[in-house]
A and B are shown apart, each in its own frame.
Chain A
């Protein structure tokens, strides 16, 4: 009995040592930065992740890009974070608070900001058949959510969430909120945000299940703008 206890204790030490050697179990890449200042601000972040599953005969891909540019800013700030884990997928957050510097003296160039963000999700499932049983056609999904923003006095916040996991969860959510820098103030400039979806679903055994959707909203001048885009895959895989 005592020997068995020693074996269990030994095994527990070995397991503990193994976890200690492996280190963090929260695998993936993450970063966040916060910049405040005057002058010019420039940020550019890109992500591309691709996974191929032989068991599910599938290919899943996520593309993400974020570009922020502020010229001649005055007391502006930019926050951006991105994290990716195998268990969850991709998450990003951004807050761009841009205050322009007016053209003064010899300078004829006033401040202006420009921000674009794009999140894309692609999945392809191959078709299959079993002997003489009917063939299940292939399926594919192409989803793209985006925003484009230019302005002078702008506070913009965005959130991106993409689920692309080993099990069948697949989806995308994009939120954008743009307004003036202070409560009750409006943003000055132009914003567009939209989504494009193209789906061919052969998982139900039919070829004709195909649909596409495109939509874009735009505001310009002085505005407050809020938009949420969501997509959840309904394709079932064997």
Chain B
């Protein structure tokens, strides 16, 4: 009897270790990492676009884009790090722009945007199913004659963080949009239905938007944005 209990305990320990290893194994996926530094007088362009989406429950999405055009610069620098490791996207961007005042057509256009989304369906106890859905986008854009800009971002599993510190002269806009909703349905905990599967009930919704911008002047702007789906 005592030996049987030991065997049972061993099985539980092995099961826990296997579960941990499995969770680590399924979390890993392809990784991408690159960084560059560009320093120029004259014209510089940067164009990056990253999109990722899983197709099965939970549906996880990440988006990132960077668009930069510097015209007739006296000095334009762009340092950028981008990496995706286990679906976690991290970015760091540093930009310096000083226009050539002898040229009429000069200026910098910068647009950095990131987004996260998550749709999740989970079986719960008491024949209930939880459904959560969230989507968020954070961005910074500027049309300036002078700029020093640094940002750091992270997107992971429906959450995102974005830090900005910038000084410059001209126009800029920083935006946040986040929406989430939670619902409850009826299932038997094994993927089958109790009654009608379409009987989902909305439990809560949340919507946030933020916009701040400066026009035609010197500015010094710092911001931090954090988005986590409310059920996490």
Contacts and interface: CB of A to CB of B under 8 A. Distances in A.
Interface string B137-168: 00000000000000000001101000000000
A35 B219 contact: yes
B22 to A, nearest CB: 11
Interface in B176-210: 176, 178, 201-210
Interface stretch (A20-28, A114-122, A206-214, A221-229): A20-28
A24 B161 CA distance: 12
Interface of A: 3-4, 6-7, 10-11, 13-14, 17, 21-24, 26-54, 73, 78, 80, 82, 84, 86
Contacts of A44: 209-212
Given A22-B232, A23-B232, A84-B208, A11 B16 contact: yes
Contacts of B156: 23
Interface of B: 6, 9-10, 12-13, 16-17, 19-20, 23-24, 27, 136, 156-157, 159, 174, 176, 178, 201-232
B204 A51 contact: yes
Given A7-B13, A13-B17, 18 more contacts: A10-B13, A21-B27, A26-B228, A27-B232, A29-B228, A31-B224, A31-B225, A32-B223, A35-B220, A37-B221, A38-B217, A42-B214, A47-B206, A49-B205, A49-B207, A50-B205, A52-B202, A82-B210
Given A10-B12, A10-B16, A50 B220 contact: no
A31 B219 contact: no
Given A10-B16, A52-B202, A54-B201, A35 B221 contact: yes
Closest 7 CB pairs of A and B: A39-B217, A37-B219, A38-B217, A33-B223, A40-B215, A10-B16, A3-B9
A21 B220 CA distance: 36
A36 B230 contact: no
A86 B230 CA distance: 7
Contacts of B208: 29, 45-48, 82, 84
Contact of B212 (A10, A24, A26, A78): A78
Contact of A50 (B174, B204, B214): B204
B226 A14 contact: no
A29 B227 contact: yes
Nearest to B232: A27
A7 B9 CA distance: 7
A40 B224 CA distance: 22
Contacts of B217: 37-40, 73
Contacts of B231: 27, 86
A206 to B, nearest CB: 31
Nearest to A34: B222
A21 B23 contact: yes
25 contacts: A11-B16, A13-B20, A23-B232, A29-B136, A29-B178, A33-B221, A33-B222, A36-B220, A36-B221, A37-B220, A38-B219, A41-B213, A41-B215, A42-B213, A44-B210, A44-B211, A45-B210, A48-B207, A49-B206, A49-B207, A50-B204, A51-B203, A51-B204, A80-B212, A82-B208
